[in-house]
Structure 1
Amino acid sequence: MKYVFPLLLIIVLMSSCRTRVESPRSMNPTAAMRQKAIDEIREADQNFSILSEKQGMAKAFTTYASDDVIKLNDGAEPTVGFDSLRAQMSRLPADGPVLTWQVLKADAAQSGELGYTFGQWMLTKKDYSGKRSTQYGVYVTVWKRQRDGQWRFVVDGGNNTPEPK
């Protein structure tokens, strides 16, 4: 009888050691769906920037824009709708400015259907004499999952800032 209590204590301790602790994401399907959307949005935004650098702004913006896109233009009226965006982008010269950016923050709704990215951009261009200049800024892009599961941006805009330190 004097060994029963220590034996029970050992059994309780051993069983508590075997209890698996699950991460909050594995316990909550909504949180897992949201995190998956955040990861996908971040990846879409990064791929958008890579395409802009390699094939130009026109190709990148028309590839990642939704049909009902709104592009906010610094100092000008917004561009509303895909056809208007395509027309705006077609006016860019083929060897025009190079726009790249880096995501600093991404987030998504719990539903996993809508999200945003925020980051810093850099625009490099040459003047008529061939001298390069660089502008810097910040942006926010609102992303929406399309019926086919792809992420497309529905709103995009930004503004100039001093060079990041």
Structure 2
Amino acid sequence: MNGASALRQKSIDEIREADQNFSIMSEKQGMAKAFTTFAADEVIRMNDGAAPTVGFDSLRAQMSRLPNDGSVLTWQILKADAAQSGDLGYTFGQWMLTNKNDKRKPIYGVYVTVWKRQRNGQWRFVIDGGNTTPEPK
């Protein structure tokens, strides 16, 4: 494996880890904490059926309005890739929204998240979006 290939693979591994940690934080500490921890300053969040949320301050305000109703968002990566340069990549996967306070059926969907390496070396998402789908088979 040459240097560029090794850098790309290292970046893919780091992006997968960041995405997985993002989901774990969402499950354990809530969506608001997870999204504001893993978002870059220049974040854009696509919103199903609404205008996108642009910028970290707007994202923080949006997350502060989430109802505290027992909803839990988790997801699973199906694919990850990164640029040869090692500073940009994406994850794609399936998400599930459940509610620990009632017996409603879970809501399912798919997502894509674009990750960018920050000056300090950490990966933060710059674009995130998804949509609902039927329950996976």
For this structure pair, what is the TM-score category when the shorter chain's length is used for normalisation? over 0.9
| Structure 1 residues 137 and 143, CA gap change in structure 2 (3 angstroms) | same
Of 142, 148, 157, 2:114 maps to: 142
Match of 1:41 in 2: 15
What is residue 50 of structure 1 aligned with on the other side?
24
Q: How does 1:23-42 map to 2 (within 5 A)?
A: 25=1, 28-42=2-16
Partner of 1:86: 60
Cα offset, 1:126, TM superposition: 6.4
Question: Which one has the largest radius of gyration?
Answer: 1
Structure 1: which 5+ runs fail to align? Answer: 1-24
Sequence identity of aligned pairs in percent?
A: 81
Q: Retained in 1: the 8 A contact 2:69–2:99?
A: no
- Deviation per residue, 1:7-38 (Å, 9 max, x gap): xxxxxxxxxxxxxxxxxx2xx00000000000
- Match among 61, 67, 74 for residue 35 of structure 2: 61
TM-score relative to the length of structure 1: 0.80
DSSP 3-state at the match of 2:77: strand
Alignment: residue pair count:
137
Task: Show the counterpart of 1:125.
Answer: 99
Q: How far apart are residue 92 of structure 1 and its match?
A: 1.2
Q: Is the strand fraction higher in 1 or 2? A: 2
Q: Which residue of 2 aligns with 1:7?
A: none
Amino acid at match of 2:8: R
The residue number in structure 1 matching 2:82 is 108
The structure, 1 or 2, with the larger RCO (C-alpha pairs under 8 Å, 6+ apart) is: 2
Partners of 2:33 and 2:105 in 1: how far apart?
A: 22
Per-residue deviation at 1:131? 3.4
CA contact 1:126–1:132 (8 Å) conserved in 2: no
Q: CA deviation at 1:154?
A: 0.1
Q: Does 1:164 align with 2:136?
A: yes
In the alignment, which residue of structure 1 is the partner of 2:72?
A: 98
Quote how far apart the aligned CAs of 1:85 are: 0.2
What is the root-mean-square deviation of aligned Cα atoms in Å?
Answer: 1.2
Q: Which runs of 5+ in 2 are unaligned?
A: none
